Amino acid sequence: MSQPTPVATTWVNGRVADNLPVTDRGLAYGDGLFETLRACRGTLPLQALHLARLQRGCAALRIPFEADLIAAELNNAAAIVGDGVVKLILSRGTGQRGYAMPADATPSRIISISPLPLYPSDRRDGVHLFACTTRLADQPLLAGIKHLNRLEQVLARSEWQDPAFAEGLVCDQQGAVVECTMSNLFARVAGQWVTPDLGRCGVQGVMREYLLAQLAERRQPARVARLSRDALYQADEVFCCNSLIGVWPVVRLDDQVWQVGGETRLLQSLAEQVYL
Amino acid sequence: MSQPTPVATTWVNGRVADNLPVTDRGLAYGDGLFETLRACRGTLPLQALHLARLQRGCAALRIPFEADLIAAELNNAAAIVGDGVVKLILSRGTGQRGYAMPADATPSRIISISPLPLYPSDRRDGVHLFACTTRLADQPLLAGIKHLNRLEQVLARSEWQDPAFAEGLVCDQQGAVVECTMSNLFARVAGQWVTPDLGRCGVQGVMREYLLAQLAERRQPARVARLSRDALYQADEVFCCNSLIGVWPVVRLDDQVWQVGGETRLLQSLAEQVYL
């Protein structure tokens, strides 16, 4: 007997609802933040890192951050979905026309649950990257946080349809490597992991943070630094990661081919242990 | 007897509604565009310029552009509001999680009407600009169009609350003048109008387009060029403009003071004639 496909369920400000007032500033200006969490047997293993990033985003955008309320709602959603995805959108709330932040806005919390995305299982043994021509703009005020202004990612992701490419590499305006469209990138250079500095553009992924912490704990700290396209090509191992996919080794970009290395397998194993 | 305040009314995809599915990509990623039009006695005098910009935005974001349907709905809203504001949000429509543009998405049209904003009438005789420290990022793929990724404007507008400042000046990452938070800027330099080039950031305002066309028709074309902060300080006349406010002469920025000049009054008069 086949199981019925789970239907995504949504809550708005704590109540079951699937719509939002059109005056919400999340719609009007992308004035808000989001988090996408992987639920595992009803829990959210990386919740603390997600909430820390959300708090940084709230500080940058000056949106009130109600940690306990949000954590409770996320945990409730995780208990319902079991194994799956919990997504939170936190917008500034409704407002009149005009860019000025309303003095009295109450943030909107939109939480939805959905099944884990069905990626081909062989991606854990290596993926091809598409080289996107879309370049990320330098904006230190918004770099690192997961805000709702995501047209750059939408444009970059639209550059390829061929499913042979699992992800797309995105660079900054100067041509340095930043990240992939929905994941962060690590490269093994001269015996050390390097991941691009995200001080001017890019999203500080939670899996990236987790792996950086794991490496630091093992006294093999990664370097967070500028990574040129040439340095990436010459790297010994490359992988991309996020909290849903874990670690995907990169085995091809343009004409460059890599083997899946032992250091990548080690981090992949650490990522997979999060959800055991 | 006081009149009751007109209540804003909203249509979603042609039906009276004040909410939208939370799966709309306008909310998820700011994946869409907007236009704010001034209605005058039930008509939209600059509608053609608004629709032209919307079409450019649809081309840039690859959102289908249904010109006739949108024009009909805007005209319907204008007839109802009479004298006021008609705002359109055109998003890519609903979609699953993920940045990839859905192949089958139907754009969402959200149209709302509201009264004209109540700005102090003395602003037509000169305004003070606040010098924002928020700088706009260089992103040629999104420059000029009126997309929904507006966190930079939200941050810039949040830098001042003092109503003595009517608008805020915003520069690019290199410190050159781009625009104001909700309007474009013109400066009179060496006997010619200059307005910043918006090829890397900024919004091509409809009133700016209208005034550029008017100047060209009078064989006094403006220069569209880089405008340094120093060049702005040294200008003989300065104004900001948009299709709701018309032309506001700028009489102060930092310690620099300007008089309201005759050339500014001429363009102000042209802007006001649009809505007579």
For A10, A15, A36, A111, A174, the CA distances from A20, given in Å and listed in that order, are 11, 12, 19, 12, 39
Indicate yes or no: CB of B27 within 8 angstroms of CB of A91: yes
Nearest to B238 by CA among B188, B168, B165: B188
pLDDT at B140 over 60: yes
**For this structure, is B36 an active site residue?**
yes
Domain boundaries, chain B: 9-114, 121-273
Q: What is the mean pLDDT of chain A?
A: 96
Element (H, E) at B211: helix B206-217
Question: A102-148: per-residue pLDDT in tens?
Answer: 988 899 999 999 999 989 999 999 999 999 999 999 999 999 999 99
What percent of chain A shows pLDDT beyond 70? 97
Indicate yes or no: CB of B28 within 8 angstroms of CB of A148: yes
Q: CATH number of B121-273: 3.20.10.10, 3.40.50.300, 3.40.190.80, 1.10.40.30?
A: 3.20.10.10
**For this structure, is B179 an active site residue?**
yes
Question: B197-228: per-residue pLDDT in tens?
Answer: 999 999 999 999 999 999 999 999 999 999 99
Question: A176-218: per-residue pLDDT in tens?
Answer: 999 999 999 999 999 999 999 999 999 999 999 999 999 999 9
Residue range A57-86: average pLDDT?
97
Residue A4: predicted pLDDT: 52
Indicate yes or no: CB of A153 within 8 angstroms of CB of B61: no
pLDDT at B8 over 80: no
What percent of chain B shows pLDDT beyond 70? 97
Residue B57 and residue A178: Cα distance in Å, rounded? 26
CATH of domain A9-114: 3.30.470.10
B94 → chain A, closest CA residue: A19
Element (H, E) at B264: helix B262-273
Indicate yes or no: CB of B154 within 8 angstroms of CB of A91: no
How many residues does this entry show for chain A? 276
- B-chain residues within 8 Å CB-CB of A158? 62, 100-101
Residue B3: predicted pLDDT: 53
Q: Which of B19, B148, B158 sits opposite A22 (nearest CB)?
A: B19
B9-114 shares its CATH topology with B121-273: no
Closest approach of chain B CAs to the CA of A72, in angstroms? 20
Residue A168: predicted pLDDT: 98
Residue range B8-14: average pLDDT?
90
Indicate yes or no: CB of B27 within 8 angstroms of CB of A155: no
Active site residues of A: 36, 146, 179
Question: B159-200: per-residue pLDDT in tens?
Answer: 999 999 999 999 999 999 999 999 999 999 999 999 999 999
pLDDT at A1 over 50: no
The string of DSSP letters for A138-158 reads: --TTTTBS-BS--HHHHHHHT
Residue B154 and residue A95: Cα distance in Å, rounded? 12
Closest approach of chain A CAs to the CA of B158, in angstroms? 6
pLDDT at B264 over 50: yes
